[in-house]
Every structure is written in C-alpha cells, then in structure tokens.
Structure 1
C-alpha cells in the first residue's frame, strides 16, 4: 500500500515540482495539497500541467490539515516551516524544502534571516562528502525530519566538496559566480521578474556577502573537511525559467596535474547515480539537466592562474529542491534512492 503524502505550499514552483515528481512515485500517493492565497481553488487552476492530480483542491495550510499523513513535504517561505513542523507527530516524516532547518548555528540564522532559529535537522544532500570519508546519506537513514539544501548551495557544494576533501583546493580563496533561472525567486509577482525586465538582461543580486546561502555553503565545506572558508559568492539572475550554472574557482594546492585533480572528483562521485563528472575538457550546460535530479560537473585547471575551475549544472527546482527532497525521503523510508526520480534531462 502506498504511503500517504501531503504537500504544503503546493501552489509555488517548488511545490509544483514536488507534485510533478511525486505523481510518478510508485510508493508515495499525494492525498492533500495546501496553499495560502489559492486555498479553495482546484490544483489544476494553478498547475494545469498536473492532470493526473486534477481531483485535488488546495486546502488551508494548518497542522490539522497536514496531520495523519505518512510523509509531509513543506514548500513554504522561510520562517513558516518551524511552527507547522513542531505540531506534527514525531513518527511522521517531515521534509522541509524551505530554509528553516538547514543551518547548524543559530547565530548564522539570526544574521542572515533575522528571526529566531527553529533548530537543525539532518541535511538532505546525500552525496555530500564528510570529513571522515563518509557521506551525508548515512545521517538520513530512518530520519523523521529532513532539511532540504538551498539550490545555490547544492550547486556550489557539490562542485567544490571533492576538492576540499582531497586537499587539492584552498577553501580560503573560493570564488563563485552563478547563472540562476528566475524560478529560483519564487512565484510571487515582482516587478524585477516580469518578462520585460528579465528578457535580454543579466542581473546580479545578493552581492557582497549578503546572500542567505553563503553560511550554508561554508557549513557544508567545513563538514567536508575545510578549516576556514573564505568565499566570494555572486548569483546572477538570467533570462531562463529554471536551472543553475555555478562556476566555482579556487587556488590549486601543490603541484597536482589536471588529470590528478579530476581524479579527485571521479573518485568522489564514481558511485553516485545522480552526479556525473564530464570528460576532460568538457563542461556542462543547464539544458542537459532540466527536469532531472542530475548534477553535471566539469573540472579543469587554469595553469596560468594556478586555480581549479569547477562548473556544475543543476535544475534548481529538481536536484536543487524537489528532487533532493524526494531522494532524501527515499533514503529515510528505506526505498531505493532513485525511486521516482529521473536522471535524464528534457531536450530540446
């Protein structure tokens, strides 16, 4: 018998992607969807692409509505998950696709979000290398609470962590520039997200160390073995609906060859089903991962600058949010990690 699922915040882009993937999951059945402004409306009035879930209607987002399900996915704005989750039974698997439970340090949360910290849950990035050589997926087995990573944090972390763990890059000299699709800014109507504002333009945001994914990335890289992390992080909004291309560079440590450097990434991800290290000289495109839970990574060495260049492509709504949530839930529930998740992108 399938496990019952509720998705809170199901009217947004992340909630819609969760529903799209869950609709094809053989062991999970979406029975309840909730929203705020759209409560009372049919699901397909907001997500007309989800015809298989046309019988569902958005309900109010309350703990009472979410209670009684085996799995609850929270796709809510930051600051809204903690209170709801605290009212749900301990034996329910709650997967928070928002930011509330990602950070380990309350001081980091206060600095970047400005409210009281809701606490820390097991972090839903199964492939994250840990300093002792293990992987983060071990922390997810049988977990009942999971914090899904931020999309930008996913791209930068998976690009850089093998270099940290192997000692071939210096984490005090990290520079990241990301091209980010507009769906990462959410579904709310905002002037700077209008087509006339986006089309033909690239717009930096969260500049100068202000972006909320910065402490999360530093936390991940410290867990991978870094001591001090100094990271210049600049996301750029570009005119595409979804996808992230993260270009990360860092000083090369020692005199390793480009082949030896690539070997660190091949060793780290050789057994991973969702992370693909491209051949030497090849670098990824966002177009190749859209609609999938895959990560494509290209690694090279800029010999003149003595820096390692790491480029990762993900779908911000897939591996960056909904895919990671379902992948982590699969592990917690004892299912095959890939169940219900595509590795193939949609092209053209």
Structure 2
C-alpha cells in the first residue's frame, strides 16, 4: 500500500523542523517535499545538521502548484496571513491541509481580524475544524482543513474544557498563569529573545493583549454556551522548549475535588497523550520534553477553596508539530499514536 505523501511548507522554522523530525519516522508517511522561501535550494541537513542521514531533501520554494503536485497532505508552518494565501489553492487541488498559523483557528472572523489582520478567505473559517484532538476527534476525522491550536491555548483548554462543559467551575474567576520556553517565539531572534536578555531572566509579556487570549475565550465560550473571558498572563522563561500552565478558578457551588477528578478521568481516561496526575502531583516540563504528551494535575486549596489546574506540554510538539501530526492521523484513519509514540527521556 502506497504511503501518504506529505509536504511541510515552511520547514526551516522551529515548528517546521519538528514536523520534519516526526514525519521522517512516521510509518504511514513519505515526506516528499519541504519548502522554504528564504532557504530554497539548500540541503536540509545543512540547516539542521542533527537530521543528517534522516532527511535527504533540499528545500524547494513555497509554490502552491509544486506542493499540490507532490503531496496528499500539506502542513503549513507559515506566518499568519501567508497560510490563508496558500490554503485555498491546495484545497482546490484535492489536498487536505493542517495549518499551524492562527489563520483558521477562529469561527469568529471579527475576533481574528481584531488581533491579526483582514482575512482573505473568510469563507473557509466555518469549514475549518479546530484541531484540539482530544476534544474534537470526530470532526477532525471528516475535515479537509484543520486550524492547529496555539501552544498556550492547548495547555489551557485541555485541562479546563471538560470542567467548563460539566459546569464545575465559576466562569467569572478564570485566571491562566502560563510560562513558555524561548522557542515559542520562533526562530527569528529579536531584542527580547536574544540570549543576553533571556538568560537569568523571568518576565511576563503582552499582558492583557496576547493574541492567544481570544482563541482561548472563543473555545471556552462555545463549551460553556455563554460568553467567557479569561485572564491570561504569559511569561518567558530561560529554557529552550517546554510550557507550563497554572489555572486558578473557584469551583461552582457544591462541586468538589472528587468531581473534578471524575470529570477529567471520564474525559481523558482513554486518551493516549493525556497523563492525569492525581493526588495533587504537579506536572513538570522535563517529563514531556520532545513528546506529544500533556500532563495534567489538579488540587483544591483548602484555605481559599480555589481549584488549581496544572498542565505541562512541549510547546513545539503537543503545542505545534506533534498535535498537527496527531490531526493528520485522525484525518486519514491512521493509529492516533503513529509517529508520535517515542518513549520520553527520564532525564
């Protein structure tokens, strides 16, 4: 049986490189094309020497016709706006598309445009499926276009959505305090991500204005059936990869810790990439490094009565490339864990 032909468009960014790394080891996929506008013509191993002997491809230019000719599925690891320019042509050529930008994550066009830019193919927003795999697997399996979730939203929504749907938390008290490694800012260095400014530093950023806030709000509101606004504060920490989120909320009247535990176990007991940490155990980014796992812990503060939810993911894997491949697996009927079942490093 012929393998699925996959293209990674924008393969030289960090998320693109993770896609390449995962796809070359996928049992059901041939990685047939990798593209880069800036580094077209270069052998991939010269850009990422760690993949020498694993990837014997040179970067092509990011041309829609070339991608359509050489692939059955395209992963768009492109900046916002670049994806929306390319997706319609690929879909029209019969490809299925997983977009890692924000261009197809929103149902609400106005919310997207308020935080990004005018949308050039807004007619596709309703057809696109939000690719949070553990929550929307049935819709993903039937989709041609996936809006792969952002890393922060993944880390916040996975622990929180089941509890919101079950009515166990007070929707007016949601606060998400999140920390990310520097790779979440992308490969292009800036004054704020330069080593000298990040090393020995720990700081919040984009407080009250981060673009992932409306993405989180939209999905919480859909789950709740009413408008929900979360207070979301991201922080940059001096490590390469990893993301830890701590979410604070009041429990609903009559709700307690056993109900929280039962709700999460019911939602994720069979989920291959969710690991629930009962008994107040805290997730650690070290334990999910390089994997597609989301580790979730929880505790109730006896003094304040607040529920404290905790999650840890690798921002480049479960927060980007790994979840994108998990989406592809669901779309094409592969084992959900295919290509993603590497055993984590214990250290």
> Structure 1 stretches of 5 or more lacking a match?
129-135
Secondary structure of 1:61's match? coil
1: CA distance, partners of 2:345 / 2:186: 22
1: CA distance, partners of 2:59 / 2:48: 11
Aligned to 2:99: 96
Question: Contact 1:201–1:238 at 8 Å: present in 2 too?
Answer: yes
Pairwise CA RMSD: 1.4
**What is the CA distance between 1:260 and its match in structure 2?**
2.5
Aligned pairs for 1:204-283 (under 5 A) are 204-208=204-208, 210-283=209-282
Aligned pairs for 1:311-322 (under 5 A) are 311-322=310-321
Aligned to 1:105: 108
Aligned to 1:165: 165
**What is the CA distance between 1:67 and its match in structure 2?**
1.3
Aligned to 1:132: none
Relative to structure 1, is the Cα distance of residues 31 and 108 closer, same or farther in structure 2, using a 3 angstrom cutoff? same
Match of 2:131 among 117, 121, 124: 124
Deviations 1:252-292 (A, max 9, x none): 11133322222211121111111111021201000000111
Deviations 1:280-322 (A, max 9, x none): 1201000000111100000111122221110000001111111
Question: Contact 1:7–1:33 at 8 Å: present in 2 too?
Answer: yes
**What is the CA distance between 1:117 and its match in structure 2?**
5.5
Relative to structure 1, is the Cα distance of residues 49 and 226 closer, same or farther in structure 2, using a 3 angstrom cutoff? farther
Aligned to 2:68: 67
Question: Contact 1:283–1:311 at 8 Å: present in 2 too?
Answer: yes
> Structure 2 stretches of 5 or more lacking a match?
none
**What is the CA distance between 1:197 and its match in structure 2?**
1.1
2: CA distance, partners of 1:334 / 1:160: 27
2: CA distance, partners of 1:49 / 1:287: 21
Secondary structure of 1:15's match? helix
Relative to structure 1, is the Cα distance of residues 303 and 230 closer, same or farther in structure 2, using a 3 angstrom cutoff? farther
**What is the CA distance between 1:118 and its match in structure 2?**
3.5
1: CA distance, partners of 2:254 / 2:129: 37
**What is the CA distance between 1:66 and its match in structure 2?**
0.8
How many residues end up aligned between the 2 structures?
Answer: 340
Aligned to 1:78: 80
TM normalised by structure 2 equals 0.95
Question: Contact 1:100–1:118 at 8 Å: present in 2 too?
Answer: no
Deviations 1:168-224 (A, max 9, x none): 11122110111101100000021221211111111211201x111111111211232
Deviations 1:1-55 (A, max 9, x none): 1111111000000000001110110111111110121111110111111124442
**What is the CA distance between 1:144 and its match in structure 2?**
1.5
Question: Contact 2:261–2:278 at 8 Å: present in 1 too?
Answer: no
**What is the CA distance between 1:80 and its match in structure 2?**
0.5
Question: Contact 2:294–2:311 at 8 Å: present in 1 too?
Answer: yes
TM normalised by structure 1 equals 0.94
Question: Contact 1:6–1:71 at 8 Å: present in 2 too?
Answer: yes
Aligned to 2:302: 303
**What is the CA distance between 1:77 and its match in structure 2?**
0.6
Aligned to 2:37: 36
In the TM superposition, structure 1's runs of 4+ consecutive aligned residues that sit over 3 Å from their partners are none
Aligned to 1:58: 59
